[in-house]
């Protein structure tokens, strides 16, 4: 599933073609994805200017001149690809539409945005912009990891007394919004914290390393265009490259990159997900 860096990469790729531009028309090629599309979605989007394109956790929100916002979730395999961008940042010729291009957004000026989702776990919804934060998908999310509300003191308070493994705690979207399996594995390795250690038992000294490590990993991943392991592509159609910077994720059996560690990366399963870590330097 695309995590925060992948979603932010897509948002940045869409922004030049969508922000400040009016939607000419929308083609909806099926009635639903994960759930049914909003009633009259194509009609409600057509003619509206995209005032702002923003991200909350793993969701993209397009604030419209109608006072509604289009909420987009990429699901497991979804991607949004731009073609015909009048700014010249993408290929001018529109490629042939693909089998799983379920929603096509045509922008004034010639840009086309195709939402492709082979597994159909993605979603779109329309909601009032003013009350967007109360939407069921957004209401209980924790602070953004790149925002000021995510701090050492906040994290220490949020994890105090928790008897869940540290890996599970950092994946809890009510504690931190947007982190996923890949980046939690990377953060825990960089901070020397075992994924199996109980969150409430992690020392304050080690917790102090978590916030800067989260920001560094996420910002590096965004700069690299995200991680492309299976389906993810940027809005330009290019792959992300952060997978070439992984320290532990998907590196089972490889040597640990921590200086003078000498350990070997191990894979275990936690809550049905693969966890990669170094048993020697992560404790």
How far, in Å, CA of 116 to CA of 119, rounded?
Answer: 9
How far, in Å, CA of 52 to CA of 74, rounded?
Answer: 19
Instruction: Provide the CATH number for the domain around residue 86.
Output: 3.20.190.10
Half-sphere exposure of 226 (CA within 13 A, CB side): 30
How far, in Å, CA of 20 to CA of 50, rounded?
Answer: 5
Q: Tell me whether residue 195 is in a domain.
A: yes
Give pLDDT, residue 122. 95
Same domain, 49 and 92: yes
How far, in Å, CA of 59 to CA of 65, rounded?
Answer: 19
Same domain, 122 and 172: no
Q: Of the candidates 261, 258, 237, 260, which has an alpha carbon nearest to the alpha carbon of residue 248?
A: 258
Domain count, the chain: 2
Same domain, 239 and 184: yes
Q: Return averaged pLDDT per consecutive 10 residues of the chain, 283 residues in all.
A: 87 93 97 96 98 97 98 91 68 76 94 93 97 96 96 96 96 96 95 97 95 94 72 56 80 95 96 95 95
Full-prediction pTM beyond 0.75?
yes
Q: Tell me whether residue 143 is in a domain.
A: no
- Domain extent, residue 33, equals 4-134
Burial of residue 129 (number of CB atoms within 10 Å: 0-12, 13-18, 19+):
middle
Q: Tell me whether residue 194 is in a domain.
A: yes
Same domain, 156 and 124: no
Instruction: Choose one of 69, 101, 134: the last residue of a domain.
Output: 134
Give pLDDT, residue 240. 54
Give pLDDT, residue 91. 52
Structure tokens at 24: 């000419």
Q: Tell me whether residue 250 is in a domain.
A: yes
Give pLDDT, residue 230. 54
Same domain, 129 and 157: no
Same domain, 9 and 123: yes
How far, in Å, CA of 143 to CA of 127, rounded?
Answer: 21
What are the residue numbers of the active site?
Answer: 2-3, 58, 273
Same domain, 129 and 156: no
Instruction: Provide the CATH number for the domain around residue 173.
Output: 1.10.8.50
How far, in Å, CA of 94 to CA of 83, rounded?
Answer: 5
């Amino acid at each position: 599933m695309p995590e925060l860096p992948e979603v932010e990469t897509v948002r940045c790729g869409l922004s030049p073609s969508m922000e400040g531009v009016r939607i000419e028309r929308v083609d909806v090629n099926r009635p639903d994805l994960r759930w049914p599309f909003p009633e009259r979605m194509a009609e409600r989007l057509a003619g509206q200017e995209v005032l702002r394109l923003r991200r909350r956790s793993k969701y993209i929100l397009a604030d419209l001149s109608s006072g509604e916002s289009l909420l987009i979730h990429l699901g497991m395999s979804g991607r949004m690809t731009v073609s015909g961008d009048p700014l010249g940042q993408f290929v001018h010729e529109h490629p042939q539409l693909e089998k799983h291009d379920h929603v096509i957004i045509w922008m004034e000026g010639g840009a086309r945005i195709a939402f492709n989702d082979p597994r159909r776990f993605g979603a779109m919804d329309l909601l009032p912009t003013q009350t967007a934060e109360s939407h069921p998908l957004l209401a209980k999310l924790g602070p953004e990891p790149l925002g000021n509300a995510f701090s050492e003191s906040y994290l220490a308070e949020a994890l105090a007394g928790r008897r869940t493994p540290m890996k599970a705690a950092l994946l809890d979207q009510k504690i931190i919004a947007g982190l996923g399996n890949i980046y939690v594995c990377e953060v825990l390795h960089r901070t020397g914290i075992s994924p199996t250690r109980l969150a409430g038992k992690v020392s304050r000294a080690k917790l102090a390393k978590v916030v800067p490590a989260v920001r560094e990993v996420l910002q590096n991943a965004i700069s690299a265009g995200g991680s492309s392991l299976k389906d993810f592509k940027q809005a330009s159609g290019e792959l992300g490259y952060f997978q070439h910077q992984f320290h532990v994720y998907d590196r089972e059996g490889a040597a640990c990159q921590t200086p003078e560690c000498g350990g070997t990366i191990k894979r275990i399963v936690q809550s049905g997900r693969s966890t990669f870590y170094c048993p020697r330097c992560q404790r």
